[in-house]
Structure 1
Amino acid sequence: MLNTIEYTVTAIVCLITAFVIQRIYFKEKKRNATAESVKGIKWFGLAIFSWGAGALLNFILVALNGVAADHKFIIYFGVLISLLNSLFILLSIPSIEHSRKRHIVIRIIERFSEREVFLIFGSILMMIAFVFVAVSYVNETANNSYIWLIDIPISLVVAYVLLQELNKAFSNRKMRFMYLPSFGLFLLIVIAVTHRIVPQEEIEGFLDVGIWNLIGVITAVSFKFLFILLFSILLYSWKFLSEKEQQQGELERLGKENLELAASRENNQLTIESHLDTIKSLKKKLSDSEKEVENLRESSKIEFSDRQKEVLGNLGLCGMQKSYTEIAEEMHISVDGLQAHIHQIKKLLSISGAGGKEQLIAYAKNNDLLRFASIHCEDK
């Protein structure tokens, strides 16, 4: 009767929970969540489903078909379900987020792919299970405790690793008050495992068998419920914190982009100012060049008298070889008269200062005024 109640309650609760978890899993996948972020949800759901499927099959065999609850094939199936459940839990534990160092068992698992974990874990357990099953099947005196020795060490290791990772995760989420439920889960698993390996005949002298069986049913159902509860809390706290961390990360990213944009804008402003200075300098040079061109244009528009053209032509032709006096004599004018003409020409051309004679010679040559020369130069 107690076994039937255990199978019924476990099957109903675990199968419904597994269905809900898988719906969450597919919903998260549709939201384009990464495979890594939803992997833990998948394995957690499969762990719960393995309990529910095992309990449902046991209910069908025991309650509906009258198979004894302690039949070896029921025990074999129970061991297989427990091993599968341990594997699924181990694969789901790495998805429990925290910033502390992982347990060595989890670090070993993380070194392999999921397929490799299945092959390694399955191969080792299949070899061990074959030996235990073969011996217990041939030896009719072998009790159920002997068969459960396949699973018990693994279940205890998984329970301890789970306790460590849960406490680290809750501590990381500032939920230290969850340490007690985590330890309670570990304690219930230990009691449930102890109940499997201790034969009833060993208990009869210390405790009523009915109470012992009731303890086994209560602990078996309770630790499954507590396991579901703790993982559900972790699932939603992880989701909440993940979304919060994503928002914080997005905020930090936007802040960083704003700083980069501000720095880029400042650099651009400096570049623009530098370009503006360059443009101003170029404009000034252009303006000066335009003034020079304009002066040249104005100079080219100067109208000289015939006498002034003659003076410029004579200077351009013989100014480097002869003095003003010599040029004036050949032109049959006085030196003062020549210098008066030169003064007027300099005034028209805006020439002043030293080197005036050289500038007049250059001007005469550049503007084709040598043709107006009236004297002759021996070095022509």
Structure 2
Amino acid sequence: MTNMLQEHINNIIDQVIAYRRHLHRHPEPSGREEATARWLATQCRRLGLIVREHIGGHGICARMQLDPGLPWLALRADIDALPIREQTGLAHASCHDGLAHACGHDAHSAMLLGAAATLRQLRQHLRCNLMFIFQPAEETCTGATAMLADGLFSEIQPEFIFALHVYPDLPAGTVGLRRGVMCAAADLFEVTIEGRGGHAARPHECTDTILIASHMIQALHHIISRRIDAQHPAVLTIGEIHAGHAANILPDKARFAGTVRTFHPEIHETIRAHMQRIIHQTAESWGATAHFSLKQASPVLVNDPLLVDACAEVFAQYLPACRQIELDQPSLGGEDFAEFLRKIPGALFRLGTGAGPQTRYPLHHPRFDIEENAMREGVGLLCALALAFPHLQKRTASPIHTLC
């Protein structure tokens, strides 16, 4: 089976690269992936899949049903792009100025299409039905929740669910595995400061909302370094700030927003309490009013340990040349695939895509790119999980098996 799988992947890889380059040229932002979803649905129908569209917005679920009596396995990819101006210089660079696939979602979708095409050719070897999920709005951490709320699994509940994420810090030809906590919980926060605007020559008659925002931002960053035990990782980042329209006018409003990332609920609550106190007390001391909101974008992502053990065995059997790397630390990045894992046992794996100067840039960088040949391993890993479904069932059949 290993040789047969590799032969099929060799036959499909050029098409997978073409899929990825098409998607890379045509990025769409979170929640507005209309053309992307339409194109993906068309490709799925060409593969003979049963396609349901517009799930939780622009989500797609494409099904390969072999036998109504068989259990289901779900494989998921995200489809949205980022509001970044691409600087790769690639021939297939984004044709939409200010939008780019700088987090690899184009590759995720291309590999899932490639896996669907390959597994259709190998369907006589399958012992499960397959569900290929193309999820919108991952970057805003709203797509998974929206798809679930819109009845993604109302008719069919898969037994397991898996996903890959490209990772430039791992070399091409490798896969990163981790048991238990894989990604941090991510919260989005927003602060709006309102005061009295006026002439820049008479600041004493105004409420300087920009100055107030700067004091708040400095103080908020000190929460992590002075209020949180350094042995418990946490990150607070301001990624957006807006105020004013002219150099000689003090604005009556300033707004900034960012994220908080933690692994433990008690750390999250400590940070939230300090943020609220700092924001409101700082505003009050300057005679301004502050509005503060913080909401969870995605929960902690927890990989099922027994399933990861089983997957490691499967990967070694089906893709012996793909080196497995044990990830010793979880990521502080958020990933709303966690919402699916709250419902269904599964795991997220990191696919190594680093290979030389062109692919050294991190996720969300304007020059981010991948080694496209690494998608061979990506397609292979997804196919192996489907082909070895009975082994996954057997290894997780213990009555004490619970999702940690």
Normalising by the residue count of structure 1, what TM-score does the alignment of the two structures yield? Answer: 0.28
Larger relative contact order, structure 1 or 2 (CA cutoff 8 Å, min sep 6): 2
Higher CA-based Rg:
1
Normalising by the residue count of structure 2, what TM-score does the alignment of the two structures yield? Answer: 0.27
